[in-house]
Amino acid sequence: MPRDHVERSAAHDWTLGRTGRMSGSLSARWFQALYDTPLLFSGILDDQGCVLDANRAAVEGCGLDRAQTLGRPFWECGWWAPAPELSARMRGWCEQAMRTGEPFRTVSHFFLGDGTRRMVDAVLIPVRDDQGDTYLVATGLDITDALAAQQQREERAEVEADALRQVAAARQREVGVVQRAERRADERLHRMVAVALDLLSAETVEDLVTIMVDRAMPVLGADGGAVVVREGRERLRVVFGERLGPEMQDVYGELPYDSPLPGCWVARTGEPLLLPRRSAGVAFTEEMIEVYEATGRDAWAFLPLRVGTRLLGSLAVSWREERTFRPDEITMLEAFAAQCAQALDRIQHLSAQRATALAAQRLSEALQHSLLTQPPTAGALDIAVRYQPAAHGAHVGGDWYDAFETAGGATVLVVGDVTGHDRDAVAAMGQIRNVLRGLAYDTDDGPAALLGRLDRALRGLQVRALATALLCRAEPTPEGWRLRWSNAGHPPALLRGPNGGVRLLAGHDLMLGVNPGRPRREQTVDLVAGSTLVLYTDGLVERRHDVLDQGIADLTLLLEQVGAEDPERLCDLLLEVAPRGHEDDIALLVMRCCGPPQR
């Protein structure tokens, strides 16, 4: 059944009896002629949907009994009643037209008196008479024959289209060979483009082999291969694809420079070599017999990998069965070899850069670790230290710690951070640390005075660096220990009491290197046995998406919970508060006051 559809138009205020300029007799005859036309079903319903009258085409023309039709609800008449679902829909349509006052149009099936099913284009139009009473004019056009004719036209069109498709299929078969060749060419071109893009991500020779041998070469029907890389004049490195298995890597992974095997010969001479049959390979060198037996590949191609005048190695490609190499295949092999050579050249340059960066990194780390000496271990102050470089990146920073006893018996504790993450920062850190040691060792100056002297000395010695530092001086007193400290723009120290409460040693002045003449403040606190002092750099508490205060709060909470541990163990526990993959290095110093000074 065609899908029912509805068309609505603007509401009409038609009234029975209004005929414009026509005379009453003329309009009556005009409406009667329309009503009696055999081409259109028409009828009129009262406001309850009962049939008041209908023309002959609608009743007798459809094989229905007029006496059983007039006076009954429209939807219960013979046109709709044989199908209860259709009858219910027609009732809904009538009620909708009466309720909205708008014409309702739909295409639906209906029934003749003998049960024949037909299709009708039906319209329900609400009208009012001069007294304001509402009626429903129902009209319909039998479109069954028109739909059947349309279906026949569509069937004829389908037959004609099928004939055309058969002709097109025959033509398609005639040019199939050409089209397949074009598709192969397109596929190879697309594969070359895809390989070129993939090679941009290759960082190792293994990556190169995976992309070139295992992904690109199958477009030529190849099944496995290897890349031979020249490494000086003594040896050749061979990296095999997965298809040839790990056994080949174990046996042939490293070969002497003068090996007679074809891949090595091409890597030395730069001449391409095609071995389409086993006999050709054995004729080249009898050592190929073992290669044929180990791989099960009967055809091989070897292409030089050359960038400009530099010969980097060779590309080896294999096939399971003997074959004849077509000119277009040789062209593709040469193109793939050119791509492979460019990628290998980039990988070798990248590897050299990484090796240089790694050497510089190790040199910087060695320099920094040489400057970060172990603290004093004897006496009533138990001190532990840690240094942890950044988790990522090739640079170390200027973070440092130091702890030493002065000539007068005090213990100096300092943690600082030079801006920057390179060897210049490490060098500046070493200078600042050494100058501070020299200034502090044989003087009783307090931390504020020492930081002021250090700042002026750095300016005078032209150490052009900015740095934060927190300098503490633990001095013995008759009652125990007194801690004096001064802060040059550094995160505050934490002091945990024996009862577990943690105090923030707040307050700071300008960092070093900004204004050497600016006075600095100093604060003092008495230390009791069991007190724990924690100094740290910002790498321990810095978060990418959080404020520094939150990191300090997290460190404070953890110190409250685990601060009773011995300093060595406590250092390890506090380092756990650092964000995973922290981007800055960390210096950490923990001091435990174990008791009064030893006299």
Domain with residue 80: its CATH number is 3.30.450.20
Lowest mean pLDDT among 44-48, 432-436, 475-479, 483-487: 475-479
Residue 182 vs residues 175, 178, 179, 185, 334: alpha-carbon distances, Å: 11, 6, 5, 5, 20
Residues 456 and 542 both lie in one domain:
yes
Residues 524 and 433 both lie in one domain:
yes
pLDDT of residue 16: 42
Residues 450 and 570 both lie in one domain:
yes
Residues 378 and 330 both lie in one domain:
no
pLDDT of residue 460: 92
What is the tally of structural domains in the chain? 3
At what angle are helices 144-174 and 176-199 packed, to 10 degrees? Answer: 80
Confidence of residue 590 (pLDDT cuts 50, 70, 90): very high
Instruction: Return the residue matching tokens 């190499």.
Output: 325
Residues 307 and 337 both lie in one domain:
yes
Domain with residue 408: its CATH number is 3.60.40.10
Residues 323 and 192 both lie in one domain:
yes
Provide the 8-state DSSP code for 15: B
Question: 163-216 pLDDT, tens per residue?
Answer: 888 888 877 777 665 556 556 656 666 666 676 677 777 788 888 888 888 877
Model pTM score: 0.48
Residues 460 and 581 both lie in one domain:
yes
Domain assignment of residue 393, yes or no? yes
Domain assignment of residue 105, yes or no? yes
Residues 287 and 405 both lie in one domain:
no
Gyration radius of the chain over CA positions? 48
Domain assignment of residue 122, yes or no? yes
Residues 113 and 210 both lie in one domain:
no
State which of 306, 323, 352 marks the end of a domain. Answer: 352
Domain assignment of residue 157, yes or no? no
Residues 310 and 394 both lie in one domain:
no
Residues 95 and 219 both lie in one domain:
no
Domain assignment of residue 163, yes or no? no
Question: 38-96 pLDDT, tens per residue?
Answer: 778 899 999 999 999 999 989 999 999 999 999 999 999 999 999 999 999 999 999 99
Task: Report the pLDDT averaged over residues 534-540.
Answer: 94
Residues 108 and 249 both lie in one domain:
no
Domain assignment of residue 407, yes or no? yes
State which of 295, 323, 352 marks the end of a domain. Answer: 352
Domain assignment of residue 170, yes or no? no
* Alpha helix (H) residue ranges in 421-474: 423-441, 447-460
- Between CA 401 and CA 567 the distance in angstroms is 15
Confidence of residue 354 (pLDDT cuts 50, 70, 90): confident
- Domain range for 110: 24-142
**3-state SS assignment for residue 307:** strand
- Sign of the four-CA dihedral 552, 556, 557, 563: positive
Other beta carbons less than 10 A from residue 27's beta carbon: 15
Domain with residue 326: its CATH number is 3.30.450.40
Domain assignment of residue 7, yes or no? no
pLDDT of residue 34: 65
